[in-house]
Amino acid sequence: MDNANGESGPNRFLNTRLTARTLLTLAVVLSVALAGCTGMGGLGDGGDETSATGGNGDDGSGADDVGPGSMFGDGADADDAWFDLSQPGYYAFDLAGMDEETGEQVTGRLVYDVEAAGEEMTASVNYEFGDEQYQSTVTGPADEISGQLFLTPAHAPVLALQSVSLLYYFEMGFTDPTVGNRKQTTTDEGTQVTEVTEKRSYAGLECAFVETTVDGELTQQGCLRISAGGIAPYAATYTADGDLELEVELVEYESN
């Protein structure tokens, strides 16, 4: 059964920030996700670099270089590639952000429940965001499940989690996030600063918390999985006026 009504925060994230940077990011995310990859690297704005400092006093990376295996999950352990809709698992995300029609702040929840059904998999999706709702159940071969789920409206919050990792890795020169990493660039919008501020944990998954500001105004936050791979368990984006546009936070996770 499929049921979708309205359009708000997550779709606003996709439909209103169609800069070249966002379009490029989503294009890469789409190609990687449909290929079945779960570990994400990053794309970013091609601004002029003005300064970069690393937590270890190096050239600004503050961490070892990240190869394709680290960013895209080649050879990663099952726990590293934590978000995998082709395997049994349970994922619950709290959502918050702006309703597109009313401009009001609303909350919601996204749940994926994937179970083995003989030689096939059954995945249930339950998505609510303000007045918007979507439910779906998909059954099929494991290698087809994730592709089908990616095409549903409920997958927009997952795009946000993937995009925040892609943006960071491109901006920081494809290096793992380390607390103290900081990079300042000049863009068309102003002076952009991306900084790794601390380590956090969401639903038992450790990550490095990253903030991006433009002229001192917060534009994006994310918590990256460091060298472990897999998409970010937390992401938040903000409008030009500083209002929360979309926040996605992993609150429950079980790998069956």
Tell me the DSSP string of 84-116. Answer: -TTSSEEEEEEEEEE-TTT--EEEEEEEEEEEE
% of the chain beyond a pLDDT of 70 = 67
Structural element, H or E, at residue 164: helix 156-171
How far apart, in whole angstroms, are the C-alpha atoms of residue 154 and residue 161? 13
Asked whether residue 98 is domain-assigned, the answer is no
User: pLDDT class for 253, splitting at 50, 70, 90?
Assistant: very high
Identify the domain containing residue 249 by its residue range.
Answer: 3-83+149-255
Residue 229 pLDDT more than 60? yes
- Residue 210's pLDDT band, with cuts at 50, 70 and 90, is very high
Average pLDDT, the chain: 75
Dump pLDDT digits (tens) for 40-65: 333 233 344 444 555 443 434 443 44
Write the DSSP symbol of residue 47.
Answer: P
Q: Which residue has the higher pLDDT, 54 or 179?
A: 179
Q: Given this model, what pLDDT does residue 234 score?
A: 98
Quote the pTM value: 0.74
Comparing 15-24, 165-174, 176-185, which segment has the lowest mean pLDDT? 15-24
Total number of domains in the chain:
1
| 187 domain residue, yes or no | yes
Asked if the structure places residue 32 within a domain, the reply is yes
Query: 15 pLDDT exceeds 90?
Result: no
Tell me which range, 1-10, 90-99, 113-122, 155-164, is most confidently predicted by mean pLDDT. 90-99
End-to-end CA distance of the chain: 24
Kindly report, residue by residue over 22-36, the tens digit of the pLDDT.
Answer: 434 444 444 444 444
Closest of 106, 94, 136, 93 to residue 9, by C-alpha: 106
Answer yes or no: is 133 within a domain.
Answer: no
Confidence check: pLDDT of 16 > 90: no
For residue range 78-127, what is the model confidence (pLDDT) as tens digits?
A: 445 799 888 899 999 999 999 988 899 999 999 999 999 888 999 999 99
Establish if 104 belongs to a structural domain.
no
